[in-house]
A and B are shown apart, each in its own frame.
Chain A
Amino acid sequence: GQNIDQPTEMTATEGAIVQINCTYQTSGFNGLFWYQQHAGEAPTFLSYNVLDGLEEKGRFSSFLSRSKGYSYLLLKELQMKDSASYLCAVSPGSGFQKLVFGTGTRLLVSP
């Protein structure tokens, strides 16, 4: 089976740093994606990791450890507009386009 876990909700303050964790157990692994989703909208791509290590892209960074089945998304210099749901998704290997999504983490950034 496929199991991807994330914290349900997190809160943080504007300007701070927040780390959203994701653990996964899947039948196969062909990469891990992070998406941002505002309420009522489609997910927006943030990052893709297929090798171990840290990928940095502006204020957002994503880390992957395949041996531990673990990833995190790091958001720096938080802004109010970062309040959204953050979805961790794994491509389980049967064609990388197919994604299994985690439970999603709702992040609330306060002033």
Chain B
Amino acid sequence: GAVVSQHPSWVICKSGTSVKIECRSLDFQATTMFWYRQFPKQSLMLMATSNEGSKATYEQGVEKDKFLINHASLTLSTLTVTSAHPEDSSFYICSASRLPGNTIYFGEGSWLTVV
């Protein structure tokens, strides 16, 4: 079964509103999680590194005030898309690793459609 779970799987929101996506590690603790975005027919682009108990690290070009990341516990990271616009419509996916080891687990992904 899944070891990293995302919720919701899909969400539709109105332009200008905010939407929160959760990423949970189900049976292990993850001090670090990663958030990716994938537009149709494109590859995954790393958005940010979510660090438990501290601020997230954002990749160049990603607006930290628009994509709020909170990693308040060792099993949960949340991504909030604030003031969403249609161009934010995308597939958002998180990942985490169970240490020790080098296996990276991806969540199931969340489809966001902004109308």
Contact = CB atoms under 8 A, between A and B. Distances in A.
Interface in B13-43: 32, 34, 36, 41-43
Given A42-B107, A48-B102, A97 B43 contact: no
A106 B42 CA distance: 10
Interface residues of A, number: 23
A87 B109 contact: no
B43 A102 contact: yes
B75 interface: no
A75 interface: no
A90 B49 CA distance: 16
A65 B51 CA distance: 32
Contacts of B91: 40
Contacts of B95: 97, 99
B32 A87 contact: no
Interface in A70-105: 85, 87, 89, 95-104
A43 interface: yes
Interface of B: 32, 34, 36, 41-46, 49, 91, 93, 95-97, 102-104, 106-109, 111
Interface of A: 31, 33, 40-43, 45, 48, 50, 85, 87, 89, 95-104, 106
* Shortest beta-carbon contacts, A-B, top 10: A104-B43, A42-B106, A101-B44, A97-B97, A101-B43, A42-B109, A42-B108, A103-B43, A43-B106, A42-B93
Given A50-B102, A89-B44, 15 more contacts: A40-B109, A42-B107, A42-B108, A42-B109, A43-B44, A45-B103, A87-B43, A95-B32, A96-B102, A97-B32, A97-B97, A99-B46, A102-B43, A103-B42, A104-B43
